[in-house]
Amino acid sequence: MWQKRQFELLRDEIAVALASLAEVADLQSLVRQPLSQPRRGLAALSADGRPWPLLPLIVCEAICGSYRHALPAAAAIQLFMAAGDVFDDIEDADSSESLSARYGPAVATNVATTLLSLAEKSITRLKDRGVADSVIVRVTDAVNSFFMSACAGQHLDLSLSSDIAISEDDYLRVVGMKSASQVECACHIGALLANERQELVDIFAKFGHNLGMAAQITNDIRGVTRGSDILEHKNTLPVIYALTQAEGESRKQLELAFRKPSESVADPTQIRDLLFRIGAIHYTTIKTEFYKQLALDNLSEIERHGTSVERLKSFLE
Amino acid sequence: MKSQALQEMIKKVFSDEKTKLQFMSNPESVIAQFKLTEQEKTAVLNTHARLGLATADSQQLEAIIEPLSNWL
């Protein structure tokens, strides 16, 4: 099975990166932990069968028929994302399972910084795979630009998190920078390593952006239906929509539930039912479907360039 | 980008029982009253076909949204 083989090769590539930490086995072990989380490169294939960590390899293979030369870049993206997960946990301080909670913010910060350094080193290993220096420079620049965008998005998110009156446009901008940029990066880098045609690289980047927007907005819906975002007073798209529509008692209930800082804990079932009644969950589901539609349009455009998109379509099904 | 027309349509469907019934029997006739983009129209119709837009409950939503939420 092609996925199994690509996952094995990706894990081997990550293992090469981690080998440089062999002298400090304790740090190596800590660095492995975020990489072994369900959605990251050292984890087993996810139950839903969607191979997210392989996205750059799938894009690369779709264009040029091979992917092995892109493995160091795919590993780098996993290392960058794992670093982001650890930093997120330090900033949010909302998980008792995080490295930060178990070992303290100092150790966690060092683990995240180590992951960033390993990611940069991974990119330089593209040279060992025969990738031209000029392409490596472009990959380095692109990866750093996307993750800088993710940091800027995170800053905006932190700055706006106490503002209950955030607009949908502002929210979508933050999601695009903070979350979708990572999927965009995976697709952009995969395409960059497969060909020199900027036009095709750009279309793949747009596909990644739209896929990333759909994935994050899906997370928003899940956060509400499961109640976790209600308990944490997270002001996500369903809530933003609801606040533009709700009046009277319903609006008061929402303001009380999502105002920060807040000592009150809203009843998740009650708030979730309210969001359903107003149509906020349905509106958000349509927004997910909207971005999936844009991503499908991107794939049609990619197909017109003679590139097979079958494996990429599976991310949208 | 925010869509005013989409927001207005959902508001109407969820606040006006007559529109909700009309949407359930003939969604395109309600969609035609709002200036939605082609992608928005497709998104509304796809969501309605999979869920029954105005009637879906949280369990139905959970079933369709889970697969996309694994990476971010």
Contact B70 A48 (CB under 8 A): yes
pLDDT at B59: 61
**Are residues A37 and A84 both part of a single domain?**
yes
Nearest chain B CA: its distance from A133 CA (Å): 30
End of a domain among A110, A131, A152?
A131
Q: How far is CA A317 from the centre of its chain?
A: 18
Q: For A202-218, how does the pLDDT look when each residue is reduced to its tens digit (9 = 90+)?
A: 999 999 999 999 999 98
Nearest chain B CA: its distance from A107 CA (Å): 24
Mean predicted confidence (pLDDT) in A34-63:
86
Query: Does residue A233 lie in a domain region?
Result: yes
ipTM of the complex: 0.83
Q: For A258-308, how does the pLDDT look when each residue is reduced to its tens digit (9 = 90+)?
A: 887 666 677 888 898 889 888 899 899 999 999 999 999 999 999 999 999
Query: Does residue A42 lie in a domain region?
Result: yes
Cis, peptide link before residue A261, omega less than 30° from 0: yes
Least Cα distance to A12 among A135, A110, A129 occurs for A129
pLDDT at B61: 61
A224/A275 Cα distance (integer angstroms) = 9
Higher pLDDT, A259 or A5: A5
Q: Which residues of A touch B43 (CB under 8 A)?
A: 286-287, 289-290, 292-293
**Are residues A221 and A291 both part of a single domain?**
yes
**Are residues A125 and A197 both part of a single domain?**
no
**Are residues A170 and A315 both part of a single domain?**
yes
- Total-model pTM: 0.91
Least Cα distance to A280 among A291, A272, A292 occurs for A272
**How far apart, in Å, are the Cα atoms of A68 and each of A64, A111, A113, A188?**
11, 28, 27, 16
End of a domain among A74, A106, A131?
A131
Contact A289 B2 (CB under 8 A): no
Contact A222 B2 (CB under 8 A): no
Range of the domain at A285: 166-317
Comparing alpha-carbon positions, the chain B residue that sits nearest to A292 is: B43
A241/A237 Cα distance (integer angstroms) = 6
Least Cα distance to A46 among A57, A36, A61 occurs for A36
Q: For A140-197, how does the pLDDT look when each residue is reduced to its tens digit (9 = 90+)?
A: 999 999 999 999 999 998 888 777 778 999 999 999 999 999 999 999 999 999 987 8
| Number of domains making up chain A | 2
b/e map A136-165, b = 16+ CB within 10 Å: bebbbebbeebbebbeebbebbeebeeebe
Question: Whole-number mean pLDDT of chain A?
Answer: 91
> Using an 8 Å Cβ cutoff, are A164 and A260 in contact?
yes
**Are residues A189 and A96 both part of a single domain?**
no
Cβ of A272 under 8 Å from any chain B Cβ?
yes
**Under-70 pLDDT residues of chain B:** 1-2, 53-72
**Are residues A124 and A266 both part of a single domain?**
no
Residue A67 is classified by DSSP as -
Q: Which residues of B touch A281 (CB under 8 A)?
A: 56, 58, 61
Query: Does residue A136 lie in a domain region?
Result: no
pLDDT at A233: 84
pLDDT at A224: 86
Query: Does residue A161 lie in a domain region?
Result: no
Residue count (chain A): 317
Nearest by CB to residue B11, choosing from A48, A279, A315, is A279
pLDDT band at A92 (very low <50, low <70, confident <90, very high): confident
- Would you list the domain boundaries of chain B? 4-69
Q: What is the CATH number of the domain that holds A187?
A: 1.10.600.10
**Are residues A53 and A114 both part of a single domain?**
yes
Contact A282 B46 (CB under 8 A): no
**Are residues A111 and A183 both part of a single domain?**
no
Nearest chain A CA: its distance from B35 CA (Å): 15
Nearest chain A CA: its distance from B25 CA (Å): 18
Query: Does residue A151 lie in a domain region?
Result: no
